[in-house]
């Protein structure tokens, strides 16, 4: 498990979208140095300015290309739309060896985003595993936390985060980052189980649409943690 995560730079790859900005805000507020990555570095700089207005002035947050962000971080978090998933991974994989990548991608296929539609590999995270190989610690998490819960919810928001990964180490490191973001995390097993995490997102989108909300999430009950 990571002992001193505050010393590690977090890169949000494709971090100019809502989910990326929300996660960057959470970790920056917790005291982490953040790098926003984008295909368009000028857009990344715009987003860093937005986040700086939301957090204490002494937090370091930078904007740069996805490749630069992956190079200079210790922990990478992928928050791109599924249509850019493969291309983005292929562009940064040479900079991720020995690092942790948390994949937040969900294979949503517009316009039917409330319908579960999985890729041939089984899930976006399994696709990432095939692209990256065994030299990257890979986890999947945060698919079921909405942007609204990230930026509006309090620390300790009433939503849980399920974490799958290619190893226990990857899951444990990611669970630390879940806690640092202010959420309750659960080890949900191997990366193959990410199909459930990703599929739940479409279900939550459908619930939000049907019941007029933006904050639908999940909660694990009936289990006591020893922490």
Total count of residues recorded for the chain: 227
Confidence of residue 177 (pLDDT cuts 50, 70, 90): very high
What is the Cα–Cα distance from 187 to 201, expressed in whole angstroms? 18
Report how far residue 208's alpha carbon sits from residue 195's, in angstroms, rounded to the nearest whole number. 20
- Averaged pLDDT for residues 44-56: 91
Q: Is the pLDDT of residue 71 over 90?
A: yes
φ, ψ (nearest 5 deg) of residue 61: -140, 130
In whole angstroms, give the CA distance from residue 143 to residue 52: 24
Taking the complete model, does pTM exceed 0.85, yes or no? Answer: yes
Q: Kindly tell me the burial class for residue 90, based on how many C-beta atoms sit within 10 Å of its own C-beta (0-12, 13-18, 19 or more).
A: exposed
* Strand-pair partners of 165: 139, 190
Q: Which phi and psi angles does 45 have, rounded to 5°?
A: -65, -40
Q: Which of 4, 21, 5, 23 is nearest to 181 (CA)?
A: 23
Average pLDDT on 146-169 reads 86
How much is the pLDDT for 58? Answer: 83
User: What average pLDDT does this structure show over 119-123?
Assistant: 96
* Average of per-residue pLDDT across 163-189: 96
CATH class of 5-211: alpha beta
**Contacts of residue 106, Cβ cutoff 8 Å, sequence gap at least 6:** 82, 124, 143, 198, 201, 202
pLDDT at 162: 98
Q: How confident is the model at residue 42 (pLDDT cuts 50, 70, 90)?
A: very high
Which helix (H) or strand (E) covers residue 160, if one does?
strand 160-165
How confident is residue 2, by pLDDT bands cut at 50, 70 and 90? very low
Answer for the pair 199, 192: CB distance below 8 angstroms, yes or no: no
Radius of gyration of the chain (CA): 16
Q: Return the pLDDT at 227.
A: 60
End-to-end CA distance of the chain: 14
| Positive/negative CA dihedral, 50, 55, 215, 213 | negative
Strand order of the sheet with strand 75-78? 61-65, 34-38, 10-13, 75-78, 100-103, 137-140, 160-165, 184-190
Work out whether the CA dihedral 149, 152, 156, 158 comes out positive or negative: negative
């Amino acid at each position: 498990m990571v002992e001193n995560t505050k010393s590690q730079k977090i890169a949000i790859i494709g971090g100019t979208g809502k989910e990326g900005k929300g996660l960057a805000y959470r970790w920056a507020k917790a005291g982490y140095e953040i790098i926003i990555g984008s295909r368009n570095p000028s857009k990344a700089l715009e987003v860093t300015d937005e986040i700086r207005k939301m957090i204490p002035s002494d937090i370091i947050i930078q904007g740069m290309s996805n490749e630069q962000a992956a190079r200079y971080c210790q922990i990478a978090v992928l928050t791109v739309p599924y249509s850019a998933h493969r291309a983005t991974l292929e562009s940064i994989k040479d900079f991720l060896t020995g690092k942790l990548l948390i994949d937040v991608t969900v294979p949503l296929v517009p316009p039917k985003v409330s319908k579960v539609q999985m890729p041939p590999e089984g899930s976006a995270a399994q696709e990432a595993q095939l692209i990256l190989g065994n030299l990257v610690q890979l986890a999947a998490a945060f698919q079921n936390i909405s942007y609204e819960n990230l930026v509006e919810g309090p620390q300790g928001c009433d939503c849980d985060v399920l974490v799958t990964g290619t190893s226990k180490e990857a899951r444990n490191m990611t669970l630390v980052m879940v806690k640092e973001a202010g959420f309750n995390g659960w080890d949900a097993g191997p990366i193959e189980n990410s199909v459930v995490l990703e599929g739940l997102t479409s279900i939550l989108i459908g619930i939000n649409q049907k019941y007029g909300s933006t904050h639908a999430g999940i909660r694990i009950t009936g289990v006591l943690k020893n922490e």
